[in-house]
Amino acid sequence: MAAVQVSEAEKVYVMHGVRDDLRLDGRGCEDYRHMEIETDVVSNTDGSAKISLGHTDVLVGVKAEIGKPKAMVPDEGYLEFFVDCSANATPEFEGRGGEELGVELSNTLCKVFNNRHSMDLRSLCICPGENCWVILIFTSQEENLLQCDGNLFDAISIAIKAALFNTRIPKVHISEDEEGVKEIELSDDPYDCMRLNVKNVPCIVTLCKIGHRHVVDATLQEKACSVASLLISVTHRGTVTCVRKMGGGSLDPESIFEMTEAGKRVGKALHVPLMELLQKEESLGKKRQKVGFLG
């Protein structure tokens, strides 16, 4: 990801600030920046959400399709992720760079979300062994200043949770005719649909190590001062579902433990206000103003 150049003296300044819990913009080490979330922004999807966090804008669309379940788990549906890192976002996304990053992001998201602890995959089953719902999740990023902030995963995970909350999957009726051939009928009523239970869907928290301490939601300048970061996905109960280390620098075991604890704290605190906000937004219904993605 594109990084801004920072001089040695600036790095020292940032490090001392982080040590004293006063970052460049006055935040504490565990504070997020101003976040805006909007759901139901794309009309031809089953669910969508848009989030802007700092300079990162993420749009997530969800479509549900009927497919064949995986052989190992015939009574479960599954999720698939498609991440689009457009060349508009940052020059490093051009050509192969964007593809590699996209693949890396998709794999990480799969690990985090596509397991039975995060989502009730059994509820996605239509006919065991034959049909199931496949949830396709499309993500795309827009960066305002052509630079990638250090909170990409955080923003994507929150947007995915919001989009899944917003998703409505039509109810199906399975009818069997005389020859035993099963037919799947989608309900015609647009309001006859099932919602997904997103209570256990985790949120990703990225912690960047700067000096001896760590920060959440790093800006570009802070990211330039950090050599390693830890990505933790945390559910609303504080359970850690996935941990990944990014960056070329090293982390000693004590740091990893401290960062994991901090990640759990921050992640747990994210869920309650997020769910409240999503429910409030939904209750506003048609009356709320839709800004849309390009607005």
* Integer Cα distance of 99 and 112 in angstroms: 20
For 124-219, list the strands marked E by DSSP: 125-127, 131-143, 168-170, 172-176, 182-186, 193-195, 203-210, 213-216
Stretch that binds another protein, among 17-25, 84-92, 150-158, 258-266 (CB under 8 A): 17-25
- Report the C-alpha gap between 137 and 62 in whole angstroms: 5
Q: Which stretch binds another protein (CB under 8 A): 2-10, 102-110, 117-125, 192-200?
A: 2-10
- Within 150-206, where are the H helices? 152-166
In contact, 247 and 207? CB cutoff 8 Å:
no
Q: Which amino acid is at 73?
A: V
Contact between 161 and another protein per CB under 8 A: no
To another protein, the closest distance from the beta carbon of 10 in angstroms equals: 7
- Our CB check for another protein shows the closer of 4 and 272 to be 4
Give the one residue of 1, 2, 3, 33 binding another protein; rule: CB under 8 A: 33
**Torsion sign over Cα 155, 267, 42, 111:** positive
289 binds another protein (CB under 8 A): no
Shortest spacing between CB 271 and another protein, in angstroms: 21
Residue 280 has phi, psi (to 5 degrees) of -65, -45
Interface with another protein (CB under 8 A), residue from 1, 2, 31, 193: 31
What letter does residue 178 receive in the DSSP assignment? T
Site track for another protein across 203-232, x = CB under 8 A:
------------------x-----------
Least Å distance, CB 140 to another protein, is 24
For 19, the enclosing helix (H) or strand (E) is helix 8-19
Q: Which of residues 60-99 bind another protein (CB under 8 A)?
A: none
Using rule CB under 8 A, residue 291 touches another protein: no
Structural contact between residues 118 and 241, judged by C-beta atoms closer than 8 angstroms: yes
Q: Which helix (H) or strand (E) holds 81?
A: strand 78-84
- 34 touches another protein (CB under 8 A): yes
28 exposed, middle or buried (CB, 10 Å; 0-12, 13-18, 19+)?
exposed
Contact between 38 and 281 under an 8 Å Cβ cutoff? The reply is: yes
CB of 16 or CB of 195, closer to another protein? 16
Binding segment (CB under 8 A) for another protein, from list 11-19, 77-85, 158-166, 179-187: 11-19
Q: Is 25 in the site for another protein (CB under 8 A)?
A: yes
CB of residue 188 to another protein, shortest distance in Å: 43
Kindly state the smallest distance separating residue 24's Cβ from another protein, in Å.
6
Please state, as a whole number, how many other Cβ atoms lie within 10 Å of the Cβ of residue 60: 30
Q: In the complex, what is the shortest distance from the CB of residue 34 to another protein, in angstroms, rounded to a whole number?
A: 5
Nearer to another protein, 9 or 284 (CB): 9
CB of 14 to another protein, least distance (A): 9
Q: Is 174 in the site for another protein (CB under 8 A)?
A: no
Q: Which residues are at the interface with another protein (CB under 8 A)?
A: 5-10, 12-13, 16-17, 19-20, 22-28, 31, 33-34, 221
